[in-house]
Structure 1
Amino acid sequence: MSSDHDLDVALTAAAAVTDDQLPDLPGSFLDELRAAAEHRGSPLASVLAAGQLADDAHRAATRGRARRRLVRAGTAVLVAAAAWAAVLVALPADRDAGGQAAPTVTAPVPGTPLGLTLASTGPVTFPLSLDPEPPGLTPVFSQWGGTAYYPGPLVLVGDWSSAEGDRVLLYLFPGEPVGPEYEPYGSPGEPAGTGDVDGATAQLFRRDGGTAVRWGRPDGRWLQLSGEGAYADPDALLAVARSVVDRPQPVGLQFGLAPAGWTVGGYEESRSLDLVSDTDPAQVPLRVSLTGTPGPGVTVDSFFEDRSLLDPVEQLTVQGLPARLGKTTPDDGDSWLLAGQVPDGRLFLMLAPPALTRDQVLQIAEQITVTR
């Protein structure tokens, strides 16, 4: 199990969405980022708050679910909760997420004497697109639940937003979102009539600051769109609803190598990605999260402050840029931590299971890619 390490981050200029509109998160995200988050001044989608809740989860050493709170800051939708904002999801081959492609395992990487074997993977994708894309809006993608490690309904979310406050939030549910398992997602609002979406009758809802539309698809799944700003108008939102197409698109963050047989456990706002073991769900996940750019007091070394390590932090180079590697003690997560930078300069933190060797951890980090 990964430890639930407390995170403390300042999310400035953010307006919170109410808790009753938000799903629960697994409490196992509270691992990394404490030191960097304490110093970081800019709000980032892959960092979170709630230090006291994280302490509680750390002491409990369980995978209980913590409340997720989405907040808006600039063009990003930020995650603030007693968890590190990183649910990243690719699916087992036998699980349908509406076009979500599982990582494609090809040739195993040779040279592994014991433990886990690495294999190359295909892209993690979000199954839907908007055609045409709403002008001026930038998308990020998330997937929650649907695995033994992250239980609950498999829910995929696309979030298109702009700095001006225009927003379209799309949910893809595995069935009609009614019943206790969907209560964490809250109500879409008060009923406000009906509309037509490609021949299906869609229910319209109104709530403060926005509109929502929900309808069933022929395959049994349900879609819900919420609109804000220019898309709070029901006609504008219905036009977007009619533009939804089954066209997978890559999420912005990818692993090129991963333990063979592992699948995506979740992805969060295209900035964090988890791969999990299908055969041993309690094993530490393979997780990467983008955490912004270096600044005063925030470097690759910041991630290792206040961590309990087996050996001194190793200084090395990954993707041609400075990186740091360490392994935490069993009482502080029992995992590899690698902090580095992607070529565009953004910092990333990678968590990896202790069954991997040092060289395997470095091989995986060298093949992390970012496209958004």
Structure 2
Amino acid sequence: MKELTLLREAGPQAPALTPAACSAARAALLEEIDSARTVRGRLRCRLPGRRTTLRLGTALVAVAAAWTTAVLVTPDSAVPDRPAAPTAAPVTPGGIALVAAEEVTFPLSLDPAPEGLTPFLSRRGGIAAYGNTPPFYVADYSSTGGDRVLVHLFPEDPRSSPDYGWSVQGDPAGTATVDGVEAEVWRGDSSVDLLWERPDGRWVQVLGEGAYGGTAAAVAVAETLVDRPQPVGLQFGLAPAGWSVGGYEESRSLDLVSDTDPDQLLRLGLVGREYPGTLDELLEGMSLTAPPEPVTVQGQPARLALAGGDGGSPYRYLVGQLPGGPFFILLAPETLTREQVLQIAEQVTSTA
């Protein structure tokens, strides 16, 4: 859990790491990589505070630690999103074709969006790194002042499986009506939870805190939910043909998984802007099979290496930086060529 917790707690306003915190974070990263623990997501996808001293671990742990453990669920338990448009692209002999990636989107929007609240979007479930449930979605609209609206979209009643990690803050408080549908209500000291089934059979949970912590306020914002996709903040411009979205974490981490070989995983993650280290420090402690190769990605210095060993499958590890933006890490299976990894990295974008 702590890998994704570190990823979720980090935000643009988080303070810079001290040298001691850097060392502690790097040690935690190496511990997680060595143990190769399976990361399992939980419903309460983000703690209220986004400030943390473990800035180094934000993307590094979440991106690297679960590399060898992520597994795609069986096709009958999920219908994955497909990011790649079926357009022709050059194919390296014996390799995988790259195609133009379709925009990865979150299926719901609040219209109007709550004023002063910033959304962080996640797709959970589907593969082991995001929890062994069918895919479900989380939109966390929050502010530094404590106002918050947390929206979950489930494929079924979340109480049907403990793997959803379903929970509420408070005690049962009767029912309310959302767009003509009866919703169950739970009231906490300064929060309210609503849960109801949509006409299409999916379930929605809305948590309100702060200014949205009353039943009337939560119902009002729940009635602004519309089936209008909104783009997530992290995107691939190119993707392997026949690969689908495995999951994403608050626009900070994005996975693509091969439809035909669930062991093939392409993982993209961001390092927080306040990370005080260097590009080369992001490679420290990695099990590289050769010295990293200096390359240029999006006009910025980058490093590309082959990592793995110690019984694990080798994979390509690229560390780069977006122009005017944060560092990013791209992990790709060795079945993607060096040139393809560089081509994919060239078209990574982020609004973070």
**Structure 1 length as normaliser, TM-score?**
0.77
Aligned to 1:319: 298
2:198 to 207, 211, 217: 217
Measure, in 2, the Cα distance between the counterparts of 1:39 and 1:222: 41
Residues 75 and 163 in structure 1, CA contact (< 8 A), matched pair in contact too? no
Sort the Cα spacing of 1:178 and 1:57 in 2 relative to 1 into closer, same or farther, 3 A: farther
Please report the RMSD computed on the Cα atoms of aligned residues, expressed in angstroms: 4.0
Aligned to 2:172: 191
Measure, in 2, the Cα distance between the counterparts of 1:257 and 1:37: 38
* Offset at residue 307 of structure 1 (A): 1.1
Secondary structure in 1 aligned to 2:201? coil
Measure, in 2, the Cα distance between the counterparts of 1:157 and 1:109: 33
Sort the Cα spacing of 1:353 and 1:180 in 2 relative to 1 into closer, same or farther, 3 A: same
Residues 7 and 50 in structure 1, CA contact (< 8 A), matched pair in contact too? no
Residues 10 and 38 in structure 1, CA contact (< 8 A), matched pair in contact too? no
Aligned to 1:361: 341
Secondary structure in 2 aligned to 1:359? helix
Residues 81 and 245 in structure 2, CA contact (< 8 A), matched pair in contact too? no
Residues 10 and 49 in structure 1, CA contact (< 8 A), matched pair in contact too? no
Cα shift readout 1:201-254 (whole Å, capped 9, x = no counterpart): 111111243111111100000100001111111111110000000000110110
* Offset at residue 182 of structure 1 (A): 4.5
Q: Specify which structure has the higher proportion of helix.
A: 2
Counterpart code for 2:48: R
* Offset at residue 328 of structure 1 (A): 0.5
Measure, in 2, the Cα distance between the counterparts of 1:188 and 1:145: 22
Sort the Cα spacing of 1:256 and 1:223 in 2 relative to 1 into closer, same or farther, 3 A: same
1:84 to 49, 56, 62: 62
Residues 39 and 128 in structure 2, CA contact (< 8 A), matched pair in contact too? no
Percent identity between the two aligned chains: 48
Gaps of at least 5 residues in structure 1 are 1-5, 15-35, 42-47
Aligned to 1:259: 240
Residues 75 and 162 in structure 1, CA contact (< 8 A), matched pair in contact too? no
* Offset at residue 342 of structure 1 (A): 1.1
State yes or no: 1:136 paired with 2:116: yes
Measure, in 1, the Cα distance between the counterparts of 2:7 and 2:266: 26
Aligned to 2:47: 71
Aligned to 1:339: 319
Aligned to 1:203: 184
Measure, in 2, the Cα distance between the counterparts of 1:349 and 1:267: 14
Runs of 4+ residues over 6 Å off in structure 1: 6-14, 66-69, 78-82, 85-88, 90-97
Residues 8 and 45 in structure 2, CA contact (< 8 A), matched pair in contact too? no
Sort the Cα spacing of 1:249 and 1:80 in 2 relative to 1 into closer, same or farther, 3 A: same
Secondary structure in 2 aligned to 1:139? strand
Aligned to 1:33: none
Measure, in 2, the Cα distance between the counterparts of 1:40 and 1:250: 35
Counterpart code for 2:307: T
**Structure 2 length as normaliser, TM-score?**
0.81
Measure, in 1, the Cα distance between the counterparts of 2:319 and 2:59: 22
* Offset at residue 352 of structure 1 (A): 0.8
Measure, in 1, the Cα distance between the counterparts of 2:63 and 2:206: 22
Sort the Cα spacing of 1:114 and 1:326 in 2 relative to 1 into closer, same or farther, 3 A: same
State yes or no: 1:303 paired with 2:282: yes
Secondary structure in 2 aligned to 1:71? coil
Counterpart code for 2:22: H
| Pairing 1:93-104 to 2, within 5 Å after superposition | 102-104=82-84
* Offset at residue 82 of structure 1 (A): 11
Counterpart code for 2:238: L
* Offset at residue 73 of structure 1 (A): 3.3
Residues 255 and 268 in structure 2, CA contact (< 8 A), matched pair in contact too? yes
Residues 8 and 37 in structure 1, CA contact (< 8 A), matched pair in contact too? no
Aligned to 2:154: 173
Secondary structure in 1 aligned to 2:251? coil
State yes or no: 1:163 paired with 2:144: yes
Aligned to 1:39: 22
Counterpart code for 1:362: L
* Offset at residue 121 of structure 1 (A): 1.0
Count residues with an aligned counterpart: 334
Aligned to 2:270: 290
State yes or no: 1:153 paired with 2:134: yes
Measure, in 1, the Cα distance between the counterparts of 2:334 and 2:153: 34
Counterpart code for 1:356: L
Deviates most, 200-209 or 149-158: 149-158
Measure, in 2, the Cα distance between the counterparts of 1:359 and 1:81: 24
1:113 to 62, 75, 93: 93
Measure, in 1, the Cα distance between the counterparts of 2:299 and 2:247: 28
Sort the Cα spacing of 1:56 and 1:11 in 2 relative to 1 into closer, same or farther, 3 A: closer
Secondary structure in 1 aligned to 2:269? strand
Counterpart code for 1:84: A
Residues 168 and 186 in structure 2, CA contact (< 8 A), matched pair in contact too? no
Measure, in 2, the Cα distance between the counterparts of 1:133 and 1:339: 34
